[in-house]
Amino acid sequence: MFTAAAPTHSVFKQMAFGDKMFLFSLVLAFLWLKFSLIWRFFRFCALLDGFDPPEDMPRCFANTVSIQSFWRDWHASFNLWIVRYMYIPMGGNRTKLFSILPIFFFVAIWHDMQLRLLLWATIICFTFIIEIAITLFFSSKKNPLVRQLKRSPLVWRHLRVLGTQFGLIELAVANLVGFSIGTDGAASTTRQMFDSMTLLNKVITVFVFLCVAVIAVQQSDQKAYEERQLKIKYGLH
């Protein structure tokens, strides 16, 4: 009942700050758990029938280090379809910045023809482009600033955690607009909520996102380390 009633704008305005923050986390967790159970059930049925479809939700919604990796692992089989039949025919990595807009608007319309989903696609595209630009900047091997930052593992790790933290906040806001709050007063509701936050509330919110980002980066590094060890073990490096 709580998750069904709370997303409406009128009810949301009457909620206390603690309830709003709980709702933000609960709605995202509910979406992830719902899709994960549905898709894994039908994947299990496919396995019984002799087919081995890809895992649709290979990781938790909060366990991501970038917006790109989040969408790669959210409904992964649909992502594979998008890559094969839209992304590659549209130019692949060469035209990535120009492919994002039509792809996400197609995904929004694929879900439903609603204004809130088009707004969701717009937010995702805007932040996606920013992330790609930042990634290209920090992946440059000729930039002296980047080389200097990478010489300090601690500083480089903190920068990655900060980027992950901003990405998680963006995903939370975009998905709540697209699949919960909607467009009716979404901006004013979000602004009023943060305006009403006390300093302690703001510190706790930032700290929670920071902890999640640290865990996500650590898990990503551990996975990369294990993959390198396997390549060394089997002579694939």
**What's the one-letter identity of residue 203?**
V
- pLDDT, residue 1, reads 41
Confidence of residue 167 (pLDDT cuts 50, 70, 90): confident
Task: List the one residue out of 178, 186, 166, 161 whose CA is nearest residue 67.
Answer: 166
SS3 state at 142: coil
pLDDT exceeding 90 applies to what percent of the chain? 11
Q: Give catalytic residues, as residue numbers.
A: 111
**What's the one-letter identity of residue 95?**
T
Q: Is the whole-model pTM more than 0.85?
A: no
Query: Between these two residues, 2 and 79, which has the higher pLDDT value?
Result: 79
SS3 state at 179: helix
pLDDT tens-digit series, residues 175-231: 777 766 666 655 666 666 666 677 787 788 788 888 888 888 888 888 888 888 888
